[in-house]
Structure formats: C-alpha cells, structure tokens
Amino acid sequence: MTCPPLHRPRRLRATGALRAMVAETRVDPAQLVLPVFVQEGIIEPAEITSMPGVRRHTMETLAKTAAEVVELGLGGMMLFGVPSEENKNATGNQAIADDGILNQALRRVRAEVGDATVIMADTCLDEFTTHGHCGVLDKDGRVDNDATLERYAEQAVAQASAGAHMVSPSGMMDGQVGVIREALDSAGFFDVGILAYSAKYASGFYGPFREAVSCSLEGDRRTYQMNPANRREGSYETALDIAEGADMVMVKPAGYYLDIISDVATLSDVPVAAYQVSGEYAMIQAAAQRGWIDQARVLHETVVSILRAGADVVLTYGAMELASALLKRKE
C-alpha cells in the first residue's frame, strides 16, 4: 500500500466556508472606481458599440449614476468629458474653460454627492483636441512636452475649482505631476490629490475608449506612452511620480501588466491603482455575449488577480456590476 499523503492542501478547499475563511484576496466595493463618460449636447445617453453596457451620459444621467455609485459604496468615479466637435481645437481649450463639459460635470457631480465618494477627473487634453493627442503640438507636429505641462497645470486647477477631489494626469508628459502639484498649491488647493497614471503603456487595449470619447487621433501615442516591452521603466516612471508628489500611482492597462503592478506595489510608498481598460472589458463582454465565458465570474476573477498582484484600487467599467454582485452575496 502506498503511504497516504502527509500534506493535504485540499482540506481547506472542501467547503465554501473554509475557502472564504482562508481567502488571501478579497474584493470590497470601496476599492473599485467607475470610469464614466459625459457627453456635451446629447439629450439621451448614447450607447458605445464596442463597450456593451457602458454609455456616454447626459448631465442628468451622470448625476443619477453618481448617486448610484454612492449607494453601492464604490470607492470613486473617474470622469471623462466628451465635447462636441465644434468645441475641440488644436490646444484643447475646453479642457480648461469653466464651462467645458468635464468641468461642468465635475461641478454637477460634486453638488450631487459632495464627499460621499471620491470624484476624480481625467487630466489630459486628448478628448479636447482636434488632432486627438494628449498634448499640444510644436511646429513640426510633435507633442510639445513643456508647452503641454502649462496646459495641464491650468486644467488641474480648473478641475479642482470645479470640485474634483483628485486630478489624474494621464498624458505621460515628463514632469507633469510636479507641475500640477505646484499649480494646485499656488492656487490654495493643498488638499486636492494627484492620482498619477505612472506606468501607462501605449496599448492596443485602449481601442474601445477611443470610440467612447470620439477621439480624433491621428497617428499613435508611442512617443509619450510607454513601450509594452519595458518592465524596469515602469518602476522608473513610478519613482519619478512619487518624488514629484503623487498621492497615488497607477498602472495601465491592468490584467496583462500584473508584473508591473507587482513591481510598483513593492516599490511604492503610496497606494497603487490599476486600470482595467476598455479593451480588457470589451473582451470579457464579447466572449460572455457568445456564451463562451461566465461574465460575472470572469469579471470577479480578473479584478481579484489585479488585487492579488498588489493593486489597492481597481478602475473598471464593471465596478457597478461587480459591487452589486458582492453586496448580493453578503445578504
């Protein structure tokens, strides 16, 4: 007779209660952030073909969504503005204007929910520029780093004035966190935080987002976003952002960049966020619609994996669905 095994790890997997007790990673709605789009000049919310279940909101449905975010106990929401075509220009002025769609939306959401959730703003020009780049262009058509920094500083102050709790520079310009911190402080917004997109890669997974914000991008973002081939550089970029005063750092995309999340979690003294981006979400939806995977289960599993890798906070278009499922399980 062969010896029975001395170690039986299966013992702790025998019942749901045992598995729940020893789970190393748990998801709480408070760790989830919902990205939301608000579009100028529409009367009804607009579907986004490549992101089933996600809509571009009117100001009214945005306010309703903010109330639901609070109701579900989500950590926060990240706002993106979609201006009408006639309100785009080469320098993205409507990103800074008080009555620009994103700044209006921030004001509305803050009035609606106050401090009951964390209101974050995308601090970037790409939704507002006719060429679709994240910054302003120089005379040769290249993205001008330092000229863009001046715009970001103004945009961050405008967003803080409109009620954002945190601004989120996502344009990957060198020095953006430092410049924004200085601008916020000079304007007296000492308590407005910076969630820095620190390790943001030039990714094909942003495809559906470009549809969501009607991005008019010519070319690509490879001269400012990072090369997906680079791991060490993710740590370098993150260290720079922390040194410049980032209150939180972010890795993006998330699910295919777990090694980067793990590195960043190890080196970072500040909380780490990860963004499950539009393409990651769309792939889950597309397979689920065909009945090939179980949507709720895979959504949960992907978020658990991102947390397990070391993220503290996850931005996901599935935040509401996941939070509802978690709350139901507790009932």
176 binds ligand PBG (CB under 6 A): no
> How far apart are the C-alpha atoms of 133 and 175, rounded to whole Å?
17
Catalytic residue among 64, 88, 139, 252: 252
Q: Each residue of 77-106: b (16+ CB within 10 Å) or e?
A: bbbbbbbeeebbeebbbbbbbeebbbbbbb
Residue with smaller CB distance to ligand PBG, 277 or 309 = 277
Fill in the amino acid letter for 13: R
Q: Which two tokens stand for residue 232?
A: 């060490």
200 is catalytic: yes
Q: Each residue of 198-228: b (16+ CB within 10 Å) or e?
A: bbbbebebbebbeebbbbeeeeebeebbbee
244 binds ligand PBG (CB under 6 A): no
Closest distance between ligand PBG and the C-beta of residue 114, in Å? Answer: 25
122 binds ligand PBG (CB under 6 A): yes
SS3 label, residue 314: strand
198 binds ligand PBG (CB under 6 A): no
Residue sitting closest to ligand PBG (CB) = 209
Q: Kindly write out the interface string for residues 273-292 of this chain, putting x where it contacts ligand PBG by CB under 6 A and - elsewhere.
A: ----xx--------------
139 is catalytic: no
Window contacting ligand PBG (CB under 6 A); options: 16-24, 121-129, 293-301, 304-312: 121-129
38 binds ligand PBG (CB under 6 A): no
Of 194, 209, 192, 264, nearest to 54 (Cα)?
A: 209
Residues known to be catalytic: 200, 252
Residues that bind ligand PBG (CB under 6 A): 122, 124, 126, 134, 170, 206, 209, 221, 277-278
